[in-house]
Amino acid sequence: MASSDSSSAQQAREDLADRLGEIRLDAGLKGSQLAQRLGWYPSKVSRIQTARTSPSADDIRAWCTACGAEDQAADLIQRLRDVEGMFVDWRRMERDGLRHAQEAVRPLFERTTRFRAYSSWFVPGLIQSRAYTEAVLRAVQRRRVAVDDVDAAVAARMDRQQILHEGGRTFAFLVEESVLRSGMGGREVMAGQLGQLITVGSLPNVSLGVVPMSASRSRMPVEGFWIYDSVQVNVELVSGYLTLTQQREVAMYAETFAELSELAVYGAEARSLIALALRALG
């Protein structure tokens, strides 16, 4: 599976750099010769080709033209745009507050018919109670967001949950048992959230699995992620938000979800674990 940082975006940058290097070689040019044709310092060609510096769209056009590969420029510029959109750090995503981040994913949710979500940290947003959502978003706001629009962000997330009750969609949620015992928001908040899980898990279009804590499990917990149909994966990292659309990477996360699903318990067994977590609250 893709590693749990922005390495997927970096790999995409390196793939783009490698392709530019191949174009130069196909043209029979040394780096210094290409730099001379472009009027650049040789160090700029080197930095771009080793992915130390990301090229601009104009750089790519000039590179391809100098190498007689103008027909490849449009495809490479699209690759560049894809790379730039893969990894967004939280400061950039949340600079205008948390509500915008909640509303920005609404179109993606509306066009998706099959949702798969795994979480080792929090209850997934679509099945959070209002109080739990407020506790989570308040903690995020205090830690890293200057704008306090938590109430509006909570309302946006609650509104998005209506999608659970629309026809033609299926949802599969996997959570680690530790999520049930996280204590997020305190006893009353967690008690309400655990009750919410029991309610949501009974919906006919929802599958809720709990991965039990075990010393002998064959697959360790990983970062939380969402799979939308079979076309996109979003991963929430400590440093930012990763979007993956390459089929190879989407397939890796789908395979990981399937492996974790095999470790999970469902139905009465899942409800039993939730009930144990409820009793542990005292």
What residue segments make up the domains of the chain, in order of their start? Answer: 7-86, 94-280
Domains 7-86 and 94-280 share a fold: no
CATH of the structural domain 94-280, one choice from 3.30.870, 3.40.50, 3.30.2420, 1.10.3470: 3.30.870
Q: Could you tell me the pTM of the whole model?
A: 0.76
The residue among 254, 263, 251, 172 whose CA lies nearest residue 219 is 263
- Pick left, alpha or beta for residue 74 (phi over 0 → left; psi -120 to 50 → alpha; otherwise beta): alpha
- Classify residue 276 by its DSSP letter: H
Of the CA atoms within 13 Å of residue 107, those in its CB half-sphere come to 2
The pLDDT profile of the chain, 282 residues, written as one tens digit per residue, is: 444 345 566 777 888 999 999 999 999 999 999 999 999 999 999 999 998 888 999 999 999 999 999 999 998 987 787 776 666 666 777 888 899 889 988 999 999 999 999 999 999 999 999 999 999 999 999 988 889 999 999 999 999 999 999 989 999 999 999 999 999 999 999 999 999 999 999 999 999 999 999 868 888 889 999 999 999 999 987 767 788 888 888 999 999 999 999 999 999 999 999 999 999 998
What is the spatial distance between Cα 125 and Cα 102, in angstroms, rounded to a whole number?
Answer: 10
CATH no. for 7-86 = 1.10.260.40
Please check whether residue 102 is in contact with residue 159, taking contact to mean a CB–CB distance below 8 angstroms.
no
Please check whether residue 269 is in contact with residue 211, taking contact to mean a CB–CB distance below 8 angstroms.
no
Q: Do the bridges between strand 170-176 and strand 225-228 make them parallel or antiparallel, or are there none, so unpaired? A: unpaired
